């Protein structure tokens, strides 16, 4: 495969709808103490399943380097690269990219972990869906590995033991007018949006001074749903990085804290990030009381409207259960997000390319015991 990889500054990352591959996200992680590096990629179109309509295809990729112990590092690619080869070329492309990156990454890096943004090749096959259209999911990891390593030289690609960023999501099409977008939602969702309006729920833009209110709502949400609570410092970093970005970093990426109120009572809040032509619902929170005011519905509808006004083509609800299985512990979240009329996207999840096999094996064994090692 004819591929060239060249390091470059993270300030030079291309504009992309993939928030986690932006200069802004690199700066967020830097503020959290996680260094990063960007790389240009040039590849021959015919080597990845495309007609030779140009000399090279150009892309770039952001890597985050996380220390996991004494003199040991892993390289993590959050939702990257953006460019997706044809299904049958995915394995050889990732293999060539990994080997091309090898000379440019630290010697103590034991693996590359790709959190791939691409639609799963198994999502293209009818036998991976129930008769009612529900996604069953990909086959067992060993069968996935067999398919992805087909045509590679090293057979070194491994399905990661855990996915870090959501592998399943829903994307709302923002191209139609507002009335059409609203009409595409479930009737119950439209009703709840109108109900919030009748209750006098209003949505306004929050700022750094509202972080205490947001974080209290977020704490209530995590406690109610038994999910991990991020430290308040993470959200402070978002604001601090945003202030820097407005001056010099990444004009194509922006975010807002939106807050829903009934009179002076905070009902719900969310972080929405605008990156190129996509808006992403990154974090949400809501009060345990006054849930009948439907503040979360008013908030999502306002986020959709603002994203459309900014020229975004789609709104990423950022993470759902893989299907509508009522027994899933997050089925309520699925019903809520599915109500906004988005199209499901089933990504490939995390894939590993070991660089130092014995150390990689030790890491995976520890990861399985710890039930996941998250770099979000």
End-to-end Cα distance, the chain: 32
The pTM assigned to this predicted structure is 0.92
User: Which CATH code is given to the segment(s) 3-165+347-370?
Assistant: 3.40.630.30
Q: In three state form, how does the secondary structure of 156-196 look?
A: CCEECCCCCCCCEEEEEECCCCHHHHHHCCCHHHHHHHHHH
**What pLDDT tens digit does each residue of the chain (376 aa) get?**
789 999 999 999 999 999 999 999 999 999 999 999 999 999 988 888 887 666 788 999 999 999 988 889 999 999 999 989 999 999 999 999 999 999 999 999 999 999 999 999 999 898 899 998 889 999 999 999 999 999 999 999 999 998 999 999 999 999 999 999 999 999 999 999 999 999 999 999 999 999 999 999 999 999 998 888 888 998 999 888 876 655 555 667 889 999 999 999 999 999 999 999 999 999 999 999 999 999 999 999 999 999 999 999 999 999 998 898 888 888 889 999 999 999 999 999 999 999 999 999 999 998 888 754 343 4
At 309, phi and psi to the nearest 5?
A: -65, -30
Which two tokens mark 122? 């198994």
Q: Which CATH architecture has domain 175-312?
A: 3-Layer(aba) Sandwich (3.40)
Q: Which ranges in the chain belong to alpha helices (H)?
A: 23-31, 90-101, 141-148, 178-183, 187-198, 211-225, 232-247, 295-309, 331-338, 357-370
Rounded Cα gap, residues 272 and 260, in angstroms: 14
Topology alike, domains 3-165+347-370 and 175-312: yes
Which two tokens mark 103? 């000379």
Query: 186 with 338: CB under 8 angstroms?
Result: yes
Q: Which residues touch 263 (CB under 8 Å, ≥6 apart)?
A: 200
Q: Is 291 helix (H, G, I), strand (E, B) or coil?
A: helix
At 278, phi and psi to the nearest 5?
A: -125, 140
Domain locations in the chain as residue ranges = 3-165+347-370, 175-312
């Amino acid at each position: 495969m004819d591929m060239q990889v060249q390091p470059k500054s993270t300030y030079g990352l291309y504009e992309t709808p993939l928030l986690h591959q932006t200069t802004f996200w690199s700066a967020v992680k830097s503020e959290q103490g996680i260094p990063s590096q960007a790389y240009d990629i040039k590849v021959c179109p015919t080597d990845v399943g495309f007609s030779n309509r140009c000399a090279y295809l150009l892309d770039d990729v952001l890597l985050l380097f996380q220390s996991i112990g004494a003199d040991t590092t892993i390289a993590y690619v959050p939702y990257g690269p953006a460019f997706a080869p044809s299904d049958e070329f995915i394995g050889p492309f990732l293999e060539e990219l990994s080997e091309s990156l090898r000379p440019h990454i630290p010697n103590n890096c034991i693996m590359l972990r790709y959190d791939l943004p691409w639609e799963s090749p198994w999502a293209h096959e009818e036998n991976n869906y129930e008769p009612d259209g529900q996604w069953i999911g990909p086959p067992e990891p060993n069968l996935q590995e067999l398919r992805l390593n087909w045509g590679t030289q090293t057979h070194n690609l491994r399905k990661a033991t855990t996915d870090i960023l959501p592998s399943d999501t829903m994307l709302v099409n923002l191209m139609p007018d507002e009335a059409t977008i609203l009409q595409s939602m479930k009737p119950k969702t439209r009703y709840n949006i109108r109900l919030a309006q009748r209750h006098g729920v209003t949505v306004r833009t929050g700022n750094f001074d509202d972080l205490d209110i947001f974080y209290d709502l977020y704490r209530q949400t995590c406690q109610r749903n038994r999910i991990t609570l991020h430290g308040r410092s993470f959200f402070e970093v978002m604001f601090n990085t945003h202030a820097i970005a407005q001056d010099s970093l990444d004009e194509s990426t922006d975010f807002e804290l939106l807050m829903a109120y009934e009179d002076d009572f905070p009902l719900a809040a969310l972080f929405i990030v605008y990156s190129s032509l996509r808006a992403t619902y990154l974090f949400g929170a809501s009060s345990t009381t006054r849930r009948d005011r439907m503040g979360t519905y008013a908030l999502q509808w306002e986020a959709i409207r603002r994203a459309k006004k900014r020229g975004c083509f789609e709104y990423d609800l950022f993470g759902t259960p893989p299907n509508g299985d009522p027994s899933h512990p997050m089925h309520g979240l699925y019903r809520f997000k599915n109500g906004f009329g988005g199209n499901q996207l089933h990504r490939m999840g995390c894939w590993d390319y070991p660089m130092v096999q014995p150390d990689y094996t030790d890491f995976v064994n520890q990861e399985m015991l710890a039930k996941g090692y998250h770099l979000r």
